[in-house]
Structure 1
Amino acid sequence: MATIKSYRSKGKTKYMFKVYLGTDPSTGKRIDTTRRGFSSAREAKQALTQLKAEYDAGRFKTKNQDITLGELFERWWQIYKSSVKQRTANDRFVMYQNHFGKYDNLKLSKLTNLWAQGVVNELSKDYKSYRNYLSPLKMALKYAVRIELISKNPFDQVIYPKAISKSKFRTRKENNFYSKAELKKFLECAKLDDNQMIYPLFRIAAYTGARSGELVALNWKDVNFNDKTISISKTVVYDTQQKTRLITPPKTPTSIRTIFLDDETLRILKVWKTTQARLLLKRGFNALEEKQLIFPNNKNRIPSPALPNSMLFDFYKRHPDLRKISAHGFRHTHATLLLEAGLNIKDVQERLGHSDIKTTLGIYSHVTEAKKKETSIKFADFLEN
């Protein structure tokens, strides 16, 4: 039953109504709602009729149902993170916070197609792969449709602008790899550096192509000195909720691999194992356990995946004559030199742990293009001579 009443506001006559719509199935409580501020009884009656129609069609939302975007994302993420690898969940979380956290207080009822188009337009101005950045937001809203918090996803009707040719932020470092001569010079300097972990760390990085997260997850049990191998089967990730570092399996099965090591790299590791044990013993740590990390932080705990980069930063300050590359650049260096040495692209893919050979081809196109030219020259020389 609904009643329409008049009332005075700022010297003017206004109209309002209060209506009982039914029972909230999630709480079992009555749904009573009030609307006010109408200029005439007729306008109030029209609004009442529309409200009842929305309720009958299932489009009416109670205060408990019309949650904010931030609340929705939290609900969705709690479910999503248990269905994917920790690193994937963390990446989605950070991506949402960086680009869409500013919309956290918006009610779901305010997320219109016009709003969604504005979000897309703004993001597309700065990022080449802007559609990838939209994924956590769109996934959360898809979940909202599934549990009937909203009737449709506002991103279903947007028009996606043409991607820009180059992102304004976080552009890829050019020539982020060393030549054979540059790598030798770097390792010669690292061998004499005061930080005794620099040399073994970047020797392993350059001679295995392991990722930074994989390097700092290694323990001595992963090295088989008899078989001359090192097993890469885990990585370090940062749990954004627990705010702690974890050692977890890698994102894809192809990232799990066993790599053969040359005698000199094994010798360097043996020297580092002895040196590390001596240094840690002075500080009260037992480094003889198999689970002892090969490259721990200064508290002998799980380090950040950023540790190699932070060590490089300080190292380059001490050696300003060296050309600077990132820690990931040693992975590119490894692949580049493998290809230049004549290994086929499939072997390089397996050694790097790429799940898709297109990734290998795309990143190292500068080498494969050079190989194509070399092949053409060799073929011509063969025919002419």
Structure 2
Amino acid sequence: MASLKKRKDGRYAKQITIGIKDGKPVKKTVYGKTLKQLEENYMNLKRQLEQGINLDLNIATLRELMEEWYKIDVEPNIRENTRRKYIYSFTSIYNELGCFKVNDIKMYHIEHAIYEFRKTGNEAARFKLIILNRFFNYCVDHDIIMKNPCKRMSIPRNKPEKRKLEKVELEKIENAELPIYDKVFLFLLRYTGARVSEINALCKSDINFKDMYIDINKTVSTKVDTHPFIQQFPKTEAGKRKVPILIPLYKVLYEYVSGLKNDNDLLFTIGDNKPLYPANQSKRLKNILKKCGIDCTDITPHSFRHNFISECYYAGIDIKTVQSWVGHSDIKTTLDIYTHLSESDLLNGSQMNDFYNGSQTEVKRDFRVV
């Protein structure tokens, strides 16, 4: 049985035999700031031993140890889309750092790797740095290294400028002569605020014309190198919701859904009731918008989501209701969309002036030159 000790620095420690070398047992010391943390680290190490994972950490390369970390600590706790992002990111990480021993990696190695990562874009580079930071924190927590070599590093987020759809563009969408298949897709984006992956997961049974709502309860996802599939739950718990069928959407949606034979028929498919590829949706939208006569270089499916939220603001819809309709887990995400409203909209005080005039209250402002 492993002996338990309390070190001078206040941490608890105990040893575990991880192998035999030259006829003698090879031991590793496990640490923890509390007895509970010590036991968790100890059991995690035992689990790795039982699974045959290499624990000779003095010669372990980043690739060897990162693969073990991912298998034990990451993969069981992430969803399929996030898993794909990890798998794709590992290729670049291994190319730059995979052959280094973990103990030998210094800050300048990370800086050089980030320089290479950024050649394919800041957002992809940011995610790779997030992976490295989590991995090295894991190594620190398990006393594999003393400190995280990328702890103070960051990559600024490139937030694309968002804009609402212009009035003339919305009019073109309303008046365009489109095939019903394209028009329903465009109107669902326009009048529900739903994510494109949620729209592509809708089937006939999700459309309730009696009570006038759309039941959003799943999403389209893909595994690495496989066809897309229906994931039987949305992006987040808040993503499971009911969205009202608004009047401009009703007629075209009813006409289209009435033509579907079975309740489990998807609204949009590539044949044999198979969902569309999520990666192709921006291209699909651009083709539809071109038919409407709209220059769509800076319009994405997500632009319609932002536009819907902005229109809810103009209509005076309660912010909690808007949050519910669009499936945001955090109301701050919904509020952040409002920051993209134009300055003229934000400075428009007509509603408050109408209120004050209605209550016969005189509003006075004291203008002073400072």
TM (norm. structure 1) is 0.68
- What is the CA deviation profile of residues 14-44 of structure 1, one whole-angstrom value per residue up to 9, with x for unaligned ones? xxxxxxxxxx944434389xxxxxxxxxxxx
Match of residue 97 from structure 2:
103
Q: 1:378 to 1:273 in 2, by over 3 A?
A: closer
| Closer, same or farther: CA 94–363 of 1 in aligned 2, 3 Å | farther
Cα deviation code 1:343-382 (max 9, x no counterpart): 2333222221112222222233133854541237844974
CA distance in 1, matches of 2:305, 2:64: 40
CA distance in 2 between partners of 1:343 and 1:104 (Å): 52
| 1:231 to partner: Cα distance | 1.0
Equivalent of 2:145 in 143, 151, 164: 151
Aligned to 2:281: 308
Larger gyration radius, structure 1 or structure 2: 1
Change (3 A) 1:245 1:153: farther
Query: Among residues 118, 130, 138, which one is paired with 1:135 in the alignment?
Result: 130
Judged with a 3 Å threshold, the aligned counterparts in structure 2 of structure 1 residues 197 and 335 are, in CA distance, closer, same or farther, namely same
Deviation, structure 1 residue 134: 1.8
Letter in 2 for 1:137: L
Q: 1:178 aligns with which of 141, 165, 169?
A: 165
Distance in 2 (alpha carbons) for counterparts of 1:376 and 1:105: 64
Name the structure 2 match of 1:323: 295
The 3 A distance-change label for structure 1 pair 57 and 229 is: closer
- After superposition, the Cα gap between the structure-2 partners of 1:362 and 1:99, relative to the gap in structure 1 and judged at 3 Å, is farther
Instruction: Say which SS state the counterpart of residue 306 (structure 1) adopts.
Output: helix
With over 3 angstroms needed to count, the CA separation of the structure-2 counterparts of 1:114 and 1:326, relative to structure 1, is: closer
Corresponding pairs, count:
314
Letter in 1 for 2:175: E
Residue equivalent to 1:68? 61
The CA RMSD over aligned residues, in Å, is 3.7
Which structure 1 residue ranges, 5 or more long, are not aligned?
A: 1-23, 33-54, 278-287
CA contact under 8 A between 1:217 and 1:235: conserved in structure 2? yes
* Kept in 2: contact 1:117–1:155 (CA 8 A): no
Contact 1:339 1:367 in 2 (8 A): no
Structure 1 counterpart of 2:71, from 74, 78, 89? 78
The one of 204, 227, 230 equivalent to 1:220 is 204
Unpaired runs of 5+ in structure 2?
Answer: 1-15, 30-53, 365-370
TM-score (norm 2): 0.71
Quote the offset at 1:64 in angstroms: 5.0
**What SS does the aligned partner of 1:312 have?**
helix
Does the CA contact (< 8 Å) of 1:235 and 1:247 recur in 2? yes
Q: Identity of paired residues, percent?
A: 25
Structure 2 distance, partners of 1:379, 1:98, is 57
Residue type at the aligned position of 1:246: F
Q: 1:6 maps to which residue?
A: none
Q: Hey, what's the Cα distance between the residues in 1 that align with 2:69 and 2:118?
A: 25
Q: 1:296 aligns with which of 262, 269, 275?
A: 269
Task: Give distance in 2, aligned partners of 1:369 and 1:31.
Answer: 76
Cα distance in 1 between the residues matched to 2:128 and 2:145: 23
Residue pair 2:17, 2:28 contacting (<8 A) in 1 also:
no
Letter of the structure 2 residue corresponding to residue 184 of structure 1: E
Partner of 2:3 in structure 1? none
Per-residue deviation at 1:97? Answer: 4.2
Asked if the contact 1:229/1:261 (under 8 Å) is kept, the reply is: yes
